[in-house]
């Protein structure tokens, strides 16, 4: 399971809303049998995820490659 994004409007941060929403999502997914979760955390959000049981993994890597312009046009 990949959690794409968790965001809170700046005026509503530090009230526990993101933690409550993410905890509810994780509980729901656990009931559905999901056992693997991965996400990419900013330095500011890492404590939230660590508090929910996520652990940093230096091996978790990603890359996005875009085709060169000549490859996109089929030339």
Going from N- to C-terminal start, the domains of the chain cover 10-72
CA atoms within 13 A on the CB side of 14: 3
Provide, rounded to the nearest whole percent, the portion of the chain with pLDDT above 70.
89
pLDDT at 72: 60
Please report the pLDDT score of residue 2 as a whole number.
Answer: 66
pLDDT at 75: 54
Has residue 68 got a pLDDT over 80? no
Candidates 66, 54, 46; CA nearest to 23 is: 54
Cα-based torsion angle of the residue sequence 10, 63, 61, 29 in order, rounded to the nearest 10 degrees = 60
CA distances (Å), origin 36, targets 1, 26, 39: 6, 10, 10
pLDDT-based confidence at residue 24 (cuts at 50, 70, 90): very high
pLDDT tens-digit profile of 44-61? 888 999 999 988 887 777
């Amino acid at each position: 399971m990949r959690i794409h994004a968790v965001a809170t409007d700046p005026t509503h941060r530090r009230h526990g809303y993101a933690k409550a929403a993410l905890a509810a999502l994780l509980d729901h997914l656990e009931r559905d049998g999901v056992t693997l979760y991965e996400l990419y955390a900013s330095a500011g959000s890492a404590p939230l995820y660590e508090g929910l049981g996520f652990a940093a993994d230096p091996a978790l890597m990603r890359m996005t490659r875009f085709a060169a312009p000549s490859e996109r046009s089929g030339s």
